[in-house]
Structure 1
Amino acid sequence: MVSAVKDSRPGYGQLLRTPGAWTFLLPGFLARQPFAMLTIGIVLLVKSTTGSFGTAGVVSAATGVSMALFAPQGGKLADRFGQRAVLLPGVLLHVAGVTALITLALAHAPLWALLAVAVPTGASTPQVGPMVRARWAARLGGTPLMPTAAAFESVTDEFTFVVGPVLATALCTGIHPAAGLIAEAALTLAGGLLFAAQRRSQPPAHRTGSGDRPRVSALSVPGVRVLIVAFLGIGLVFGGMQVSLTAFTQDIGRPGINGVLYGIFAGGNMLAGIACGAIAWKVGPRRRLLVAYGLLTLATAPLWLITAVPLLGAVGLVVGLCIAPALITGYTLIETLVPASARTEAFTWLTGAVALGQAAAATAAGQLADRFGASSGFLVPLAGTALALVLLLALRAHLLPRPSAPEAGPDGRGPEPHQDAAERGVGHRAPVSVD
């Protein structure tokens, strides 16, 4: 695939002309949409049946924690046996779990029963976003188009976070409290099966035999561990914003505006993602990551003090604008730190970290909203991003690849050509236009 793109200007148009890209982009978009609907759908349904944001947050948190713990294992299996082999049973199990959760919630089942179903529901959530990123990396790794693909995927993710929560909220508040999760299950089934059917574009499986070199675990790379903890902070922003905006709008008697406010927040994220892919960066990705987290911390600081809806929407937009650069840069660094044989696993560790952060935020923000008022939940995003920034500043050296000990390439015989390029910006120069 390198020969097909290396002589062309690396814009979005050129990216989308990559041979075979649309065969996995369209079903991948459909299949990842439910990811943005699950948390808010659970919160709205359980809040409706129990009357407690705290209980809703606990159930949502159980789903997120199990997702975060099991997603990397699914990514590891996908690297070893192929994406289709993992995706098909996962989709069916997830749909069954969501169906059981809806049934139990409407039957006013006790909390332990909801938690017992929430765990397999989260564990089986299809990790389509990391799988799409792994397909891009398999085709474009080491070329100037790879950071453009990372930006494009961030924009796609954030578009789902614009559409998903708005759709789930509208269905739950306008039709039935369970309608959001019903739609999530239907989209998971249809999109997941269509994506799994695209076998030609999936990365090759990296099975190991007795004569092969040992497989490298993504978690053994120090930079990946740093990014995992940093992405927990981003998850705390997402989860804290979801629960706190829901509590705030219900507290002021305008629950219908919740989806609009969250859509503004996610829309800022999407716009920033588009811009990140259109800028020719002159600084390395490690420095960009530190700056992005610093700005995100500043942007989340005033949220808990705001009581006016227009001002909350404006600040939420700024918060969203600060998230995309951090996400894009983190995912781009994975391509320089991790060999192809563990890349899907690495992407799912980051996605799982975001899910775990969302789960923790749902619990913490829900408890704060119940005990101290709706606006207090906004302290969760601030705390999460501030702690992530401190960690990145302390451990930033781990985000540099090590030329003296490069990881083996996908054939197990030598380093991948992009291994020493991260901080110099080689292979990370984004296009100057959207083509």
Structure 2
Amino acid sequence: MHDIKFLRADPEGFAAALARRGVTDAASALLAADTAWRSAETALQEALARRNALSKDIGAAMAAKDGARADTLKAEVAALKETMAGLEETARTASVAADAGLASLPNLPAADVPDGVDEHGNIEVLRWGTPRAFDFQPLEHDIVAAKLGYDPEAAARVAGARFAVLKGPLARLQRALGQYMIDVQTGAHGYSETYAPLLVGRDAAYGAGQLPKFEDDLFKTTDGRYLIPTAEMSLTNLVAGQIIDAADLPIRMTALTPCFRSEAGSAGRDTRGLIRQHQFEKCELVTICTPEQAEAEHAHMLASAEAILQALELPYRRMLLCAGDMGFSARKTYDLEVWLPGQNSYREISSVSDCGDFQGRRMNARWKVAGEKGSRGPVNTLNGSGLAVGRTLVAVIENYQQVDGSVIIPAVLQPYMAGITRLEP
């Protein structure tokens, strides 16, 4: 959510920043709704003041036994009531339009975010690791996994497309990945493990920026709750409506949870395998902080996610997303893309985003300095994957596959595998 004061102070600058996100004309429509609301409110206050003055004059006329004047003044009051009712409706309609307009607008990009309309405008800023030289043609993960315990046909019988069944040591490897991630993020990087709801209410979905624009991307229950598409929705909202002392910031949280996405609009994309599922697991990272801490926390979160890839010895690259390719709530995002030899390409495995005060304002979460009256402003929030478990499993399968169809277990995961060092067909 934006502060309407920013738009009022610099409508041209606000519109130009929105245009970088591919949004045009919205600023002018929003400004018109805000102007209509303020004009109606001003007229309403003037009418209220006039009504109060007339009430006093009526009392004086009655005391002076001037019935004719009292009747004239009463008639004016009656007319004012009708006028005020119309002004109240005008103000309400304009306020609803302004609030809806604000809620529908994405965050403004940071100054150092490159221009661009889609992934072609993203900039590679770092590459780590050397892709393995295979002495055979590496296969895509679903082909390898089909002989290791991956059963998409069973999943389809139970739930339909874009679900997976993993069996035996392959299922254990997925669990090992999640356990390893949460252990590293809590033990080495200062994130506090948190267990939070997988179902959230409408206010929480709104606060995280999922509603109202992305309702079709969410699974909704019959009682109006939403299955989380990421633990960011639950973790970020733990501070909703709170005023937090600056001495307690930053707050770093992590959770290993199932995530649920309808994948609306993704028909035909990654229909095979584990890349794009309705249900998957993710180790989420969330930070709540002051504006002054945000840049350092963004770097810390990015390093925390990259540490998992490095420990697993998975080659990856870091991409700075352009303005047109960022998520709705983000002001600056880095994507981590892991090398998949079976696909001969880099694929996204984590997005690490600085959201500024965008979510803090939507959640009415604020921060203060001890001893000062009032708060300094909305908190800043950051979120990222540390990492997406299913996509990491994909990367391990493709990068560690052997010519006989087996898959070597990365060394850091072997303590979680009860002596299993290799997945055998």
For the criterion TM > 0.5, the same-fold answer is no
Structure having the higher helix fraction is 1
TM-score, length of structure 2 as denominator length: 0.21
TM-score, length of structure 1 as denominator length: 0.21
Structure having the higher strand fraction is 2
Larger radius of gyration: 2
Higher normalized contact order (CA 8 Å, seq sep 6+, divided by chain length): 1
